[in-house]
Amino acid sequence: MEIGQVEKRPRKSARRWVGLATGVAIAASALSVAQPAVAADTWLTQLDDGYVRFAVPNAAVESAVGPVSQLVIEGNLGASANWAQFGLSRSGDTWTGTLGPLEPGLYYYQVTGDDSKPFKDPTNPTSVASEPEWSTFFIEGESAAPLADAPEEAGSIETLNYHSDVAGEERSALIWTPPGYRERGKPYPVLYLQHGGGQSYRDWVEVGRAEQILDNLSLSGELADMVVVMGNGNVPDFPSELVDNLMPAVRDAYNVSNAKKDRALAGLSMGGGQTFEVLRTHPGMFAYVGTFGAGRFGDLSDIPVKKINKQTELFRLYVGNQTDVAYNDVYESMRQFDAMGLDYQFDGANPDAGHNWNAWQENLIDFAPRLFHGKKTGDPGFSEGHTAIEERFELPPAGTTPTPWITEDGFVTFETTTEFADAEYVSVWANWGPGGSWLRVEMNKVGDRWRATVGPLDPWSYYYRFIVDGVSVKDTSNPTKVTTEPTWSTFFIPGEESRLLADVAPGTGGALEVLTYQSAVAQQERSAFVWTPPGYDADRAEPYPLFVLNHGGGQSWTDWVEVGRARQILDNLTLDGAMEEMVVVIPNGNVNNYPAELLDNVLPAVEGAYNVSEDPAERAIAGLSLGGQRTMSLLLTNPGEFAYVGAFAAFLFSVPSGVDVAKVNAETELVRLYTGDITDFTYPNVMALMETLDGLGVEYEFNGVTVGPHGWDVWQKNLLDFAPRLFKAE
């Protein structure tokens, strides 16, 4: 959602929603899933470490908007703090979901059913006057310290009522006064701070955290004593409203200076455009001027450049990253300013935020301390981490390139074909949320196609699908596939963080082959992937160790390769010297007697086709989710078959009878357990598994929590940790 634009986000007509399950694990209903405790009278519970839990009673949903087939929490949850949707799952009479870890900061959200029925969380007392469906919550943390409530008594917020001749009505503004305001005789400088399109004079306080920002800057000594006025800019003639109505009303009610050197004006988005219009039409009336995420300044040919340069102490521009709608406008405006000799400063593009409050809060934090210090306006350069804009951000013409289209700095653009030209609502749903959770991003109609740009995304591997009028659809322009999830596609963002998941140079990696064998258990011919290391020698005197890698529920033998990037992981670990040379088999675990399938069919077939050891001391096995359950069951019922055992998000349906614990411990070199965080629905089951093993006396290691839900981001990291531990000589 682009808050700064004049247009409100359109409400779509109701439609059916596809199921929220990602298809990467067994159904949650198959397990005993304990969830974090939540208060009965609140829909949102903030947990430790930046996690939040939503629990929305279906009765409340139906009372608000009627029956719905899907429910989402939507807000500034996406990449660059842009608008995104987090799907809730219905369990009984309640819609629930846990999300996190969220970065410190302020979040705003609404509850929406069936894409078209937004409503407010009535259990959250916060409100946003310009967006009646919104509520807010704050995640504490060092990086958001300027947005936190001040640790001691600070400034005050008051409401000023005045008559507007421009609007022909009584209007209001919010006034922030600094600590000790009443005790000072000398008039205060004043900053006029404007909102954006579709907003009101209350937004800077209710969503922008202006009160907290100003309080903290004041208490830290970074802010000059000043009064800050947040007025209503929703008028056809803003300069007249400001100069002829609001400013006189402020002077009458507050102890503020009337000197031009003691005035500053700043605004976001539409308010930034209004700010520039005042600079153009009233040069010198404000000594300090700032525009936040604004760049459409109209015809610049008649700007009184000399007057502005002479009478303005500071003119500073701000903008978000490539997802900011003002990005190209700011670039073009600065080119024109340079050509005409207009003096200005540029804060650099904010790499972490788009056209939203996260960017504008940072803009205020940078701009306000520069005011009213005489000629000292601070470092004219970029804020830390901000970057120059070297060129426009241009997307390829529609239909000219496969999607997704990925830039070097991690911005990803998705585009549909023309077959959905008549669709009403299209979104892209992917694992780009916190820890790899799924979030949906709304796509926009461009001609006969739909497009969306997301980013910057961290280097890693991603999987996604389009949702077209409630139906899951494959991106047919993307040649990648996931056999068990026909509507999924994948893409990869390169970088140091994802180096071990990247393709290796041609000819340097191992070989990946398909092994076909006859299954007496399944009574059919079946297939498995077999990876052999670089330089594999079928005639080597010393057989290779064997590692069996199992998929999860709803998956098959293709998933670890098509979406898990197991081939790339094994290639890189081996080439790095981090992993012993071994043969890896990825079998099909979808059979009613997995131990018999593995021991009597898969292993003999591998031993017959490859130079692998038959010594259990040189065998390892691991599996994710349901594959982890199969792995742990095999360990307890067939001890000594595998010396190394790894369980990723594993559990036990029941404890096998007659477990020979002594043999398990004596003949198993390593048992290592892994789990995602509390957003992983099997997390409590992994905890229960450890209690079970403790009770039996089975020795094991626990890797600790891997941040992320029940998904491939977590399992890839588990494999990266587990594989290098195998077959190491003591």
Which one of 469, 493, 517 terminates a domain? 493
**Torsion angle, alpha carbons of 496, 501, 503, 509, to 10:** 110
456 is a domain residue:
yes
pLDDT for 730 equals: 62
Cβ neighbours around 507 below 10 Å, total = 6
Structural domain harbouring 550: 504-725
pLDDT for 13 equals: 33
> Minimal CA–CA distance to 32: which of 625, 682, 692?
682
pLDDT for 4 equals: 31
Which residues partner with 306 through β-bridges? Answer: none
pLDDT for 403 equals: 84
23 is a domain residue:
no
Instruction: Tell me the three-class secondary structure of 648-691, residue by residue.
Output: ECCCCCCCCCCCCHHHHHHHCCEEEEEECCCCCCCHHHHHHHHH
450 and 596 inside one domain? no
87 and 159 inside one domain? no
Which one of 105, 140, 175 terminates a domain? 140
485 and 580 inside one domain? no
- Look up the CATH number of the domain holding residue 424: 2.60.40.10
pLDDT for 357 equals: 98
21 is a domain residue:
no
220 is a domain residue:
yes
118 and 229 inside one domain? no
pLDDT for 26 equals: 38
Q: How many domains does the chain contain in total?
A: 4
Q: Helical H runs in 491-586?
A: 559-562, 566-575
568 and 664 inside one domain? yes
64 and 116 inside one domain? yes
Which residues partner with 544 through β-bridges? Answer: 612
3 is a domain residue:
no
399 is a domain residue:
no
396 is a domain residue:
no
53 and 172 inside one domain? no
545 and 665 inside one domain? yes
Please state, in angstroms and rounded to a whole number, the distance separating the CA atoms of residues 23 and 21: 6
136 and 158 inside one domain? no
- Look up the CATH number of the domain holding residue 365: 3.40.50.1820
- Say if CB 173 and CB 159 are below 8 A apart: yes
Which residues partner with 119 through β-bridges? Answer: 111
Please state, in angstroms and rounded to a whole number, the distance separating the CA atoms of residues 639 and 662: 9
pLDDT for 40 equals: 57
293 and 358 inside one domain? yes
Run means of pLDDT, 10 residues per run, the chain, 730 residues: 30 33 38 48 96 98 97 98 98 96 98 96 97 98 97 93 96 96 89 97 98 97 97 96 98 96 98 97 97 91 95 97 97 96 98 98 98 89 96 91 91 96 96 97 95 97 96 96 98 98 98 97 97 98 98 98 98 98 98 96 98 97 98 96 98 93 98 98 96 97 96 98 90
Please state, in angstroms and rounded to a whole number, the distance separating the CA atoms of residues 302 and 324: 27
pTM metric for this prediction: 0.92
542 is a domain residue:
yes
541 and 636 inside one domain? yes
651 and 544 inside one domain? yes
Which one of 90, 116, 140 terminates a domain? 140
